[in-house]
Amino acid sequence: MDSIRSGHLLLVQSSMPPDRGRLPDGYLAGEAQTRPIDGVLEAIIPGRSLMFRLTADPTRIVRAPDAPKEGRGRRVALHDPKEQLGRLARKGEQCGFVVPAGADGGMAVTVSPCPPVVGYKDENGKRNKITISPTRFDGRLVVTDARLFADAVRTGIGRARAYGCGLVSLAPVTAG
């Protein structure tokens, strides 16, 4: 969800058509719009530069020193912008894109913290609190693997997709 002058803009990407009949009365300020992303996916080719926006939950796994390697560690949010950019770079490699260097030599990305999101997950009869610390990345990327990147655009990036993270919004690079 993005704040805009006239209120909020909610982008939903789904493999199924939306059922607007399930929304409460007055939820939409105007007529909802749907657009297929087929054209966007077809335009993804290696070497193509695109402007992007991604809200993600950059994290790392922390394990106790005496914990077994095959055991699950604890997921910890990254709050330092340099660590967040490092995580973005690693995910980019896995998802078929790189973020080129900007004029200052750093990545051509703006990093903006977002308000925390709290949810709950029932596991083994116990209700566990989950806190997501989203970060918004705005910048330019270059596609390195069209198939991997199209999959990332189609399905999202990262583990916090159920909490509003992972949607990659794209726009053409404009001169100026």
| Domain at 74, CATH number | 3.30.70.1210
Question: Residue 75: CB partners within 8 Å, gap ≥ 6?
Answer: 59, 60, 61, 62, 159
Structural domain contains residue 7: no
Higher pLDDT, 4 or 32: 32
* Cα–Cα dist 151/157, whole Å: 9
The upper half-sphere exposure of residue 146, i.e. CA atoms within 13 Å in the direction of its Cβ, equals 9
Which residue has better confidence, 168 or 65?
168
Q: Provide the pLDDT for residue 21.
A: 83
Q: Is residue 25 part of a domain?
A: no
**Host domain of residue 130:** 36-172
Give per-residue pLDDT as tens, 115-162.
999 988 898 889 989 899 999 999 999 999 999 999 999 999 998 988
- Confidence at 16, pLDDT banded by 50, 70, 90: confident
Q: Is residue 165 part of a domain?
A: yes
User: CA-CA distances (angstroms) from residue 86 to 58, 74, 111, 128, 150?
Assistant: 9, 19, 12, 29, 22
Total structural domains within the chain: 1
Closest CA to 51 of 99, 87, 96, 9: 99
Return mean pLDDT, the chain: 88
Q: How confident is the model at residue 4 (pLDDT cuts 50, 70, 90)?
A: low
